[in-house]
Amino acid sequence: MSELLRIEFLIQKNYIKSLVISIIVILCSFTLSNSINNIQFMSIFFTFYFIIVSIQIEKRNKFNIYLNSLPIKKEKYVLSKYLSSIIYIILTNILFLIISLFFNFIF
């Protein structure tokens, strides 16, 4: 299962440029209003971004054919998807907590 998680993170590594651009744009748009709701919205947005990019890449590359040829049960694959989602949620919440503390410190 650790291999499936590693594949998941390698997929995300290829799309880090678009993520950074998205973070910059959204941070610029929300810095004017220092509301906690905006911070929560950004963390939810980026969590869905990670999950959707992963799913779209797998669909585009026909990963299900590759997955069927592996000696891995589908239960483990689904579990790894859930685990990666939980990791994304935790990481984005930590990131945006740090960002919100930084902006509260500045303003």
pLDDT exceeds cutoff 70 at 35: no
Strands (E), 3-53: none
Percent of the residues in the chain that have a pLDDT greater than 90, as a whole number: 0
Burial of 22: CB neighbours in 10 Å, binned 0-12, 13-18, 19+: middle
Q: Which residue bears the tokens 């997929």?
A: 11
Alpha carbon 47 to its chain's center: 4
The per-residue pLDDT for 97 is: 81
pLDDT exceeds cutoff 80 at 29: no
Alpha carbon 92 to its chain's center: 7
Q: How far apart are CA 74 and CA 71, in angstroms?
A: 10
Alpha carbon 75 to its chain's center: 21
The per-residue pLDDT for 31 is: 64
13-23: average pLDDT: 74
Burial of 13: CB neighbours in 10 Å, binned 0-12, 13-18, 19+: exposed
Instruction: Give the chain's mean pLDDT.
Output: 76
Residue 61 is encoded by which pair of tokens? 């590359």
The per-residue pLDDT for 8 is: 73
59-79: average pLDDT: 80
